């Protein structure tokens, strides 16, 4: 009991420091953070109900929502997800394609190590100049790319308390400008109830130093009035990372017939550079093989047409779990996931993924 009290004391202290850091829901700072892709969930399963599963996310993809859920990996888990953000490259100009690959494995009796790489590509974009502001390909093209590398560790302190940490390396680049940064995620989950049906979770994401861009793209060759060549170099400003604090709660309603489960979940996200988000979600499971889920992300101004981001509103998804072993208690299997997220006024976001557990 004393150990549990100490752990909760640590969580409360971290929360006390985190809340002033994120400066909850500061709408005046909207758009001033860098590396905003760190707020985009690349995994198909959890996005099916808006990433509301802060308290009950499990496995490899928990490294995005709440790394504490990584502690529930039994052996080895390999996962891949593909996301067509806002319609992908065939959609609006803001569309992108996200590919994510990860691996998690139990390294100690109570510890799990995980890693995943997320890449975001935008395809070829025409170079524009002051003589050709519309761009028609005559000046060539460039291909921006984003990537973040995540390495995390989660530990089960007791049967009810689990925690973890993720270290992130963030890179963004174009043809002649690039930038990199580093951040840390931390999270904890508490599970209780006769059948572990009540769950609570909290996570702090993207906490780290500022990043800025550099490279030859900041230099411009010019010709003076006297015909002399000279170079003008601009200075890049530093950008803070999009820190946020997530708090979630989930409850499972269990039914013996056909091994049914109905999970009700809710979460609150305090953003340092955006408005706060409130999310509600439902997930129904049948025979531990089929799941359907839906969620709704609300932020102030959404219903009045003054939403600050496109990542809000309804989401839905489904999963199929195919067991690979008939042994009682075995969790080896293949899972296929799909999700759809609305993104008004942009096109919706589709994601499909698969994971292998053995």
Residues 245-264 pLDDT 10s: 999 999 999 999 999 999 99
Evaluate if residue 142 carries a pLDDT over 90. Answer: no
Return all residues near 319 (Cβ < 8 A) that are at least 6 apart: 45, 48, 290, 291, 293, 335, 336, 337, 338
Which is higher by pLDDT, 38 or 175? 38
- In this predicted structure, what is the pLDDT of residue 137? 66
- Higher-confidence residue: 99 or 86? 99
Question: What is the tens place of the pLDDT at every residue in 12-34?
Answer: 445 544 444 444 455 667 677 88
C-alpha closest to that of 54 among 256, 223, 199? 199
Using one digit for the tens of pLDDT, what is the confidence trace for 196-239? 999 999 999 999 999 989 888 878 777 777 777 878 888 888 89
Given a cut of 60, whether residue 80 has pLDDT beyond it is yes
In order of 34, 57, 66, 78, 81, the CA distances from 61 in angstroms are 23, 8, 9, 10, 10
Pairing mode of beta strands 141-142, 161-173: unpaired
pLDDT at position 25 is 53
For 8, the token pair is 């909760």
Statement: residue 76 has pLDDT above 80 = yes
- Residue 232 has φ and ψ, to the nearest 5°, of -105, 125
Average pLDDT, the chain: 87
Instruction: State whether residue 257 is helix, strand or coil.
Output: helix
pLDDT at 135 over 80: no
Q: Can you give the residue range of the structural domain that contains 68? A: 2-357
Taking the C-alpha atoms of residue 119 and residue 147, their distance in angstroms, rounded to an integer, is 4
> Among 134-143, 185-194, 240-249, where is mean pLDDT lowest?
134-143
- The whole-number average pLDDT for the span 284-313 is 89
Which CATH number is 330's domain given?
A: 2.40.160.40
Which of 329, 319, 314, 328 is closest to 355 using CA atoms? 319
Tokens of 56: 């009950």
Q: What is the pLDDT of residue 302?
A: 82
Q: Give pLDDT, residue 13.
A: 47
How far apart are alpha carbons 39 and 18 in whole angstroms?
Answer: 17
Provide the pLDDT for residue 95.
Answer: 65
Measured CA to CA, the distance from residue 280 to residue 314 in angstroms comes to 10
Q: What values do phi and psi take at 212, rounded to 5?
A: -150, 165
User: In whole angstroms, what separates CA 147 from the centre of its chain?
Assistant: 13
Q: What pLDDT is recorded for position 26?
A: 58
CB burial of 111-146 (b: ≥16 within 10 Å; e: otherwise) equals: ebbbbbebbbbbeeeeeeeeeeeeeeeeeeeeebeb
Range from 39-53, 145-159, 175-189, 216-230 carrying the lowest mean pLDDT: 216-230
Element containing residue 9 per DSSP (H, E): helix 2-22
Please, which pLDDT band fits residue 195 given cuts at 50, 70 and 90? very high
Q: For a pLDDT cut of 70, what percent of the chain falls above it?
A: 89
Which helix (H) or strand (E) covers residue 282, if one does? strand 277-286
Q: Token pair of 349, please?
A: 């976001």
Q: What is the mean pLDDT of residues 145-163?
A: 96
Cβ proximity of 170 and 33 under 8 Å: no
**Helix, strand or coil, per DSSP, at residue 181:** strand
Partners of 100 in the β-ladder: 81, 118
Under DSSP, is residue 53 helix (H, G, I), strand (E, B) or coil? coil
Tally of domains within the chain: 1
Higher pLDDT pick, 259 / 142: 259
91 confidence band (pLDDT: 50, 70, 90): very low
Average pLDDT over residues 56-74: 96
Q: Is the pLDDT of residue 164 over 90?
A: yes
* Reported pTM: 0.88
Confidence band for 143, pLDDT divided at 50, 70 and 90: confident
The residues, any chain, with a CB within 8 Å of residue 146's CB and separated by 6 or more, are 35, 37, 119, 120, 121, 170, 171, 172
pLDDT bucket at 88, cuts 50 / 70 / 90: low
Average the pLDDT over each of 42-51, 67-76, 207-216, 263-272 and give the range with the smallest value. Answer: 207-216
Helix (H, G, I), strand (E, B) or coil at 258: helix
Q: DSSP characters for 39-88?
A: GS---HHHHTTTT--TTT--STTHHHH-GGGGGG--SEEEEEEEEEETTG
- Both ends of the chain: CA-CA distance in Å? 34
Give yes or no for a contact between 338 and 48, defined as CB atoms under 8 angstroms apart.
yes
Phi-psi region of 329 (alpha: psi -120 to 50; beta: other; left: phi over 0): left
When mean pLDDT is compared across 142-151, 165-174, 227-236, the lowest value belongs to 227-236
Of residues 293 and 344, more confidently modeled: 293
């Amino acid at each position: 009991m004393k150990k549990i009290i100490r752990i909760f004391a640590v969580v409360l202290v971290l929360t006390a420091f985190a809340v002033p850091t994120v400066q909850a829901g500061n709408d005046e700072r909207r758009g001033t953070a860098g590396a905003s892709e760190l707020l985009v969930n690349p995994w198909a399963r959890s996005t099916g109900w808006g990433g509301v599963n802060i308290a009950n996310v499990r496995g490899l993809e928990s490294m995005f929502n709440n790394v504490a859920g990584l502690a529930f990996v039994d052996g080895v888990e390999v996962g891949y997800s593909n996301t067509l953000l806002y319609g992908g490259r065939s959609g609006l100009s803001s569309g992108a394609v996200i590919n994510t690959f990860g691996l998690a494995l139990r390294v100690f009796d109570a510890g799990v190590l995980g890693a995943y790489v997320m890449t975001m590509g935008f395809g070829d974009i025409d170079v524009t100049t002051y003589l050709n502001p519309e761009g028609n390909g005559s000046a060539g093209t460039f291909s921006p790319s984003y990537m973040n590398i995540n390495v995390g560790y989660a530990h089960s302190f007791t049967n009810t308390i689990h925690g973890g940490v993720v270290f992130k390396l963030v890179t963004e680049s174009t043809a002649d400008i690039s930038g990199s940064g580093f951040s840390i995620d931390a999270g904890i989950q508490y599970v209780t109830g006769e059948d572990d049906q009540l769950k609570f979770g909290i996570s702090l994401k993207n906490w780290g130093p500022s990043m800025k861009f550099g490279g030859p793209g900041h230099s411009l060759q010019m010709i003076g009035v006297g015909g002399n060549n000279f170079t003008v170099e601009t200075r890049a400003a530093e950008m803070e990372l999009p820190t946020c604090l997530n708090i979630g709660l989930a409850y499972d309603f269990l039914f013996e017939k056909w091994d049914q489960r109905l999970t009700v979940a809710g979460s609150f996200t305090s953003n340092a550079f955006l408005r706060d988000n409130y999310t509600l979600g439902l997930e129904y499971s049948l025979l531990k093989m089929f799941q359907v889920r839906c969620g709704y992300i609300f932020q102030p101004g959404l219903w009045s047409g003054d939403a600050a981001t496109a990542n809000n509103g309804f989401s839905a998804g489904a999963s199929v779990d195919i067991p690979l072993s008939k042994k009682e208690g075995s969790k080896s299997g293949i899972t296929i996931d799909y999700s759809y997220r609305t993104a008004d006024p942009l096109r919706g976001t589709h994601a499909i993924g698969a994971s292998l557990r053995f």
